[in-house]
Structure 1
Amino acid sequence: MSEESRPPETPAEVPRPRRKGIYMLPNAVTLAALFASFYGIVMAMNGRFELAAIGIFCAAVLDALDGRVARMTNSQSAFGEQMDSLCDMVGFGAAPALIVYEWALQGLGRWGWLPAFVYIAGAALRLARFNTNIGIVDKRFFQGLPSPAAAALVMGLIWVMDDAGFKNVAQIEWLAWTAFAVTLYAGLTMVTNVPFYSFKVMGAKQTVPFASIMAIALAIALISQNPPLALFALFCIYGVSGYGVYVWRRMKGRPVSVIATSTDDPDEKGLHQ
């Protein structure tokens, strides 16, 4: 067959790009955390502050799980990261600020706006900084108080006092000012550069002493005796621990910043990993 009579070659079909989807399991956990936060807001609107606090604590537990589920199932995605950040802003920024304002701060008039707004602004700034610094921060520490811990600190106060029988807190001046101080402290501590231990180095593949497992079992038993008081005390200790780490590192002459300046510096072991 001559070249003139040969049929023209048809161009190879260009494969159609695959339609991008989303991973079901980790995003379902994130949505469950968002629902728990929404539940907390609704319960606060109905005066059920104990249930509101429990809702935010449940959101914190689910928030800790979604990232681990994504890594375990190899289903990390940019969509999941953005969705997780937006849900964190609702669950640990807007929801605690609204709940504590409804619980106590509205009794202080316009002064009650101050800690609530500082808290929600601190949560937004902290999440934005976390997203932009995620590749240059020491994995062993958080830069500032993490927003779930800040929310647990504020919600823990509400849960403890509600469990103790304090109602109509907006009319109890000393308790309203206590809520003012705790909320303001949590909001400001989120945007500090104080290092808070992240516990990320305690992975599932890392061995720990047998006594550590017994300590965890003992902690669970103690928390079960009085969950509101035990959890509040636990997060109060964590909420001030960063300042203790800051002072200790200052006294030892070690750098207190968790931002990398050099990947070769031995003091910055753990950065860029």
Structure 2
Amino acid sequence: MTEKYEQDSKDGMDAAHSILPIDEHIEEVPGPDGKKIRHRGIYLLPNLFTTAALFSGFYAIVSAMDGNFANASIAIFVAMVLDGLDGRVARLTNTQSAFGAEFDSLSDMVAFGVAPALVVFSWALADLGKVGWVFSFIYLAGAALRLARFNTHIGDEDKRFFTGLASPSAAGLVAGMVWALSDFGVDGGDISFLVGLLTALAGLMMVSNVRYYSFKDLDLKGRVPFFVILLVVLVFAVISTDPSRILWLIFIAYTASGPLQALWRWRKTKKTAIEE
């Protein structure tokens, strides 16, 4: 009876799926004995965060088209928070999947590639004409190449470091610039060439070989001294006093940290070679 009930239920589900205009997702994963196991459907929780990040990127594009550049920049920062949560939620709940990884990568391309490029173009680079297109495209191409390189090297690199500036950090640099300078009342068209150079630099840093600390080795589940919580509260309090400028300064500092550390390592190696 039980086997018959399960078979009838499976037949009913298959019939329902055949009516839908979209095919059901079936994924094969290696099982404990090495054999592949077929799973139907996708994990809901982590993909909800990814979808929300995708929506934030889309909202940023629409806001920039309407001239609401501050809202567009804030939406990109919201996408950054959501992007950080989906992966951690998937790992904590053991709901990682190949579908989730691909969906996350496509969401990142919209939120941290297309959205910042269009926001900064609408804010400042449109006045440069075709030169503005070039600056925006350098950033966009850098984001696409950065994500493609990251996807092809998953599991091969030291998790403590990123090779090249991560696309969310590059988006934070560009969106932070738009948000902070807009709050200052600066018209992007007045400094369009400088904005274009910084935008292109962010794109080039994404495809560089400069290493950046990833913070992935931080143990968020372990116990920490009490003062760490006080420090976190202090950081949030400082950021809340002037979020646009402080966040932009944080991403400027992080972007500069990679080349500065590379220079320090080069000088240290050179000094050691001379002493030997």
Which TM bucket (shorter chain)? 0.7 to 0.9
Q: How many angstroms does 1:208 deviate by? A: 4.2
Q: How many angstroms does 1:218 deviate by? A: 1.8
| TM-score, scaled to structure 1 | 0.82
| Residue in 2 that maps onto 1:221 | 237
After superposition, where does 1:101-116 map in structure 2 within 5 Å? 101-116=121-136
- The answer to whether 1:179 aligns with 2:195 is yes
* % identical aligned pairs: 53
- Paired with 2:113 and 2:158, the residues of 1 have a C-alpha distance of 24
Q: How many angstroms does 1:75 deviate by? A: 0.6
* Structure 2 gap ranges (5+): 1-6, 12-36, 271-276
- Partner-residue secondary structure (3-state), 1:214: helix
- Partner-residue secondary structure (3-state), 1:22: coil
17-26 or 40-49, larger mean C-alpha shift: 17-26
After superposition, the Cα gap between the structure-2 partners of 1:216 and 1:107, relative to the gap in structure 1 and judged at 3 Å, is: same
After superposition, the Cα gap between the structure-2 partners of 1:192 and 1:18, relative to the gap in structure 1 and judged at 3 Å, is: closer
After superposition, where does 1:192-203 map in structure 2 within 5 Å? 192-203=208-219
Relative contact order higher in (CA < 8 Å, ≥ 6 apart): 1
- The answer to whether 1:118 aligns with 2:134 is no
Alignment match of 1:188 (pick from 167, 181, 204): 204
- Partner-residue secondary structure (3-state), 1:106: helix
- The answer to whether 1:85 aligns with 2:108 is no
Q: How many angstroms does 1:140 deviate by? A: 0.7
| Residue in 1 that maps onto 2:27 | none
Structure of higher CA gyration radius: 1
Letter in structure 2 aligned against 1:41 = I
After superposition, where does 1:134-153 map in structure 2 within 5 Å? 134-153=154-173
- Paired with 1:245 and 1:18, the residues of 2 have a C-alpha distance of 46
| Residue in 2 that maps onto 1:21 | 41
- The answer to whether 1:49 aligns with 2:65 is no
- The answer to whether 1:72 aligns with 2:72 is no
After superposition, the Cα gap between the structure-2 partners of 1:142 and 1:18, relative to the gap in structure 1 and judged at 3 Å, is: closer
- Partner-residue secondary structure (3-state), 1:252: helix
Q: How many angstroms does 1:249 deviate by? A: 2.0
The total of aligned residue pairs comes to 237
Letter in structure 1 aligned against 2:143 = A
- Partner-residue secondary structure (3-state), 1:142: strand
- Paired with 1:52 and 1:186, the residues of 2 have a C-alpha distance of 18
- Paired with 1:208 and 1:185, the residues of 2 have a C-alpha distance of 37
| Residue in 1 that maps onto 2:16 | none
| Residue in 2 that maps onto 1:253 | 269
Q: How many angstroms does 1:165 deviate by? A: 1.7
| Residue in 2 that maps onto 1:205 | 221
* Structure 1 gap ranges (5+): 1-12, 255-273
Residue by residue, what CA displacement relative to the aligned partner does 1:75-97 show, whole Å, maximum 9, x if unpaired?
11000000000110111011111
Q: How many angstroms does 1:126 deviate by? A: 0.4
| Residue in 1 that maps onto 2:248 | 232
Residue by residue, what CA displacement relative to the aligned partner does 1:132-187 show, whole Å, maximum 9, x if unpaired?
111111111100000000000000010011111234x32x1xx2122112101100
Letter in structure 1 aligned against 2:100 = G
| TM-score, scaled to structure 2 | 0.82
Q: How many angstroms does 1:250 deviate by? A: 2.0
| Residue in 2 that maps onto 1:100 | 120
After superposition, the Cα gap between the structure-2 partners of 1:219 and 1:183, relative to the gap in structure 1 and judged at 3 Å, is: same
Q: How many angstroms does 1:209 deviate by? A: 4.4
